[in-house]
Chains A and B, each alone.
Chain A
Amino acid sequence: MTENPAPGTPEPRIVAFCCKYCAYAAADLAGSMRLSYPADLKIIQVPCTGRIDVIHMLKALEEGADGVMLAGCLEGECHFLAGNLKAKARVGQVKKILTEIKMDPGRVEMFNLSSAMGARFAEIATEMAERIRGLGPSPVPKKPKKAAAA
């Protein structure tokens, strides 16, 4: 990869689109279980990961996110039947685009879990943060933090 990381931010900034039927509830559970997961994870509740399109993931990166993750229901258990499968395909599309524009496709990922998996949520969040830390900060010039959070 020909990424050219800007002088680093210590914590990777990760946007996590979380389905309200599973991952969002799992994140909640992780919180009540007092499990720790990376601080700079921006959780965005969505009605279904199937709502997230290619453009949402790209825009997050364009706005300065170092990584983007989608966390949806286990395959076969989507509340809307196939939303998580559509999301998986779209994550694939974004990976392809990132490869084409010389960014690491590992900056986006799809995860599947159920609402009861609080520990698993903390685990995948940590796993993603470690992966992004390994890749270094996004080469996209950083905007002021307030704008980046938009």
Chain B
Amino acid sequence: MNETVTSQSRLERILTSGRLAVTSECGPPRGSDPSAVREKGRLIKDHVDAVNVTDNQTAMTRMCSLAACIHLKQEGIEPVLQMVTRDRNRVALQSDILGAASFDIPNMLCLSGDHQSFGDCAQGQNVHDLDSMQLVQTACHMRDQGKFLGGADIKRPPALFVGAAANPFADPFEIRIPRLAKKIACGAQFIQTQCIYNIDKFKAWMHRAVDRGLTERAFIMAGMTPMKSVGMAKYMKTKVPGMDVPDAIIKRLSGVEKKKQAQEGIDICVEHILELSEVPGVAGFHIMAIEWEEKVPEIVERAKLFPRPAIDE
């Protein structure tokens, strides 16, 4: 693995040091009150290395990711700026990368974004001037060449740790590893995966990634989302594209009474993390407890990922 770091990112340093990293996620509010972001941040601050801030997820209009990142940073939490290519062209994307860098936000995650028809602006245009891989290339180009896409020099280029997402379970199946390879070839330094429930399938994917040497070139963080109920599990299985929820999970959740299903969901999540911690190539965990941030500390502690390592500045 490349030993030199490209940013001031604590996440990058922990991953580079070979220790399992932990990130979580914070969805900005549908309003201008920053206290919600700060509160969510405080809940998980001591249990994670960095917090992803989603960018108008599911195409619902929310407080912008960059502003929410700044609020977290002011709380002493390291943000991961998520950027989707749905809403901004290359002018705005480069501009926001510089804006983030001006606040020394060190991490970004490049995504294409859910289609706008799922959100509250279904009649809106989408942009997709770049795709997620090209956004990765753009960020790396700005950082490494110190230039804009247009060719001009950037004064104080952005020092970024650049990531991308991967879904080990989506279709078409045969391109799962080639697609990961492509993202890494574009410059992705870390990968956060879609929520994993099918552990065997994920291990097989991971095994192939290791075989191809991809884990030598990028850090793969396994995505984890605890199930709150059997209803949620069924919904994820049938309604969310690219999600692989084995029947065994649904069976296990339906086996306990309703009041205890949430706890069972947490137990499953902790067991999965413990199991995957041993899998070669897994560099950390991205715990997405959707509107359930208060459970992150318990998961992190029980999964033996606490305390988080200190990093010398």
Chains A and B directly touch (beta carbon < 8 Å): no
Binding site for A on B (CB under 8 A): none
Binding site for B on A (CB under 8 A): none
